[in-house]
Amino acid sequence: MPATTTLTARALLLDMDSTIVNSEAVVERCWRRWAAEQGLDAEEVLKVVHGRQGWATMAALLPDRPMELNLADNRRMLAQETADTDGVVPVPGAPAFMEAISRLPHALVTSADVPLSDARMRAAGLAMPVVRITAECVSASKPDPEGFLKGAAELGHRPEDCIVFEDSEAGILAGRAAGMRVVGVGDRAAAFAPTAHVRDLTQVRVEARADGVIALHIAA
């Protein structure tokens, strides 16, 4: 029988892109266009775009560029990404996973803004969590832990009682900086030492215990 790891928590904090929603095609299209505009190698750009807000990615790639240009490009790209949902689908296992946690304490913690998160969750056919921390809610982008700490506070749980689901280096670093355990989702996450790693959400079984504990049974 395959080995199973069990993690327990009282609340779950979920990244969106590449964690529960597969939006890789849109992200790649938009960032390849931006890379071409800037004369940058698209493959190198795509290595660092995941997990951060767009302006933070731009600042990392072009450290001498005025921030007002990054913010303007970020607004333009958010509008492009919101309008482009071609190829946006749920990560395998996400519909069943979201149904399993629908009555349990959980929040979306995403670098997307409200319109983009609305568009992608709708395109993927996933219900929006009641608690949602978006780009508008924070002053700092992942890997800063602000978003995850705000999500835990809104749910009324201590950071050490929360488990984060993330796919990116920036997100995993943010979860760890918040004092939380992290389940890494997808191939990219494996390189960044999450607490546990899954290929997708078909490997996670949720058990809601009578004492309010959420048990996550993670198949190897």
Q: Catalytic site residue 73?
A: no
Cβ-contact 20, 91 below 8 angstroms = yes
The pair phi, psi for residue 105, each rounded to 5°, is -65, 120
> Exposure pattern of 108-144 as b/e (b: 16+ CB <10 Å)?
bbbbbbeebbebbbebbebeebebbbbbebbeebbbb
Residue 180 neighbours by CB distance under 10 Å: 25
- What are 136's two structure tokens? 């508008």
Annotated catalytic residue within 15, 113, 144, 167 = 15
Active-site residue, 15 included: yes
Residue 149 in contact with residue 176, Cβ under 8 Å? no
Tell me which residues are annotated as active site. Answer: 15, 17
